[in-house]
Amino acid sequence: MAHDHNHDHHHHEGEHSELSETALRVKALESLLVEKGYVDPAALDELIETYETRVGPRNGAQVVAKAWSDAGFMEKLRTDATNAIADMGFIGRQGEHMVAAINTEDTHNMVVCTLCSCYPWPVLGLPPVWYKAPPYRSRAVSDPRGVLAEFGVQLPENVGVKVWDSTAEVRYLVVPQRPEGTEGWSEDRLATLVTRNSMIGTGLALTPDEVTS
């Protein structure tokens, strides 16, 4: 299991405090706007859900689809993910130093941030709530197969699980295995098979049947 604790603790403690203060300010502003009738809570929840699960992860899905279709790009992603992703126009804060964790027949990769919630925003959008929750951050390391099972992922015993610990300096994008039965598919069509969870490692890419059913 790959597990790197090279976090800068001082950075994370400051970042965590800053984020907590910001979150409080946002919550106070949100409450005020809702109270005044300027914001519909349901619409706000829908907006967050859109950027968390739909709009944001589309960038990562395009990266994965290109890797599945283009062996040269896959190799560049393997050796220099930061520039490979930047070449597609997906750059920005919290995506400056990227590493691609590529799933194989005998290795499944999963990403966690054990000290806070470092997350590759340029390719995955907003982090899901469970990614930031202490139970996931601790159990992803101590019991990765148990966590995967709770997400509905059952891996064969001969498939090893590597857990990558994101830091303030390095963030990871899991490249899931390409599903069978997708030969000849365009990149756009392949991207429909790539889910946010499959790029965190708590899921697998969808099968063609799951998309068409």
Residues labelled as active-site residues: 113, 116-118
**Burial of 15 by CB count in 10 Å (0-12 exposed, 13-18 middle, 19+ buried)?**
middle
Query: 10 Å Cβ neighbour count for 51?
Result: 13
DSSP-assigned beta bridge partners for residue 171: 98
Helix (H) or strand (E) holding 98: strand 98-102
Q: In 3D, which of 69, 49, 111, 59 has the Cα closest to residue 89?
A: 59
Contacts of 36 (CB under 8 A, 6+ apart): none
Residue 107, phi then psi, degrees to nearest 5:
-140, 130
- CB–CB of 173/101 below 8 Å? yes
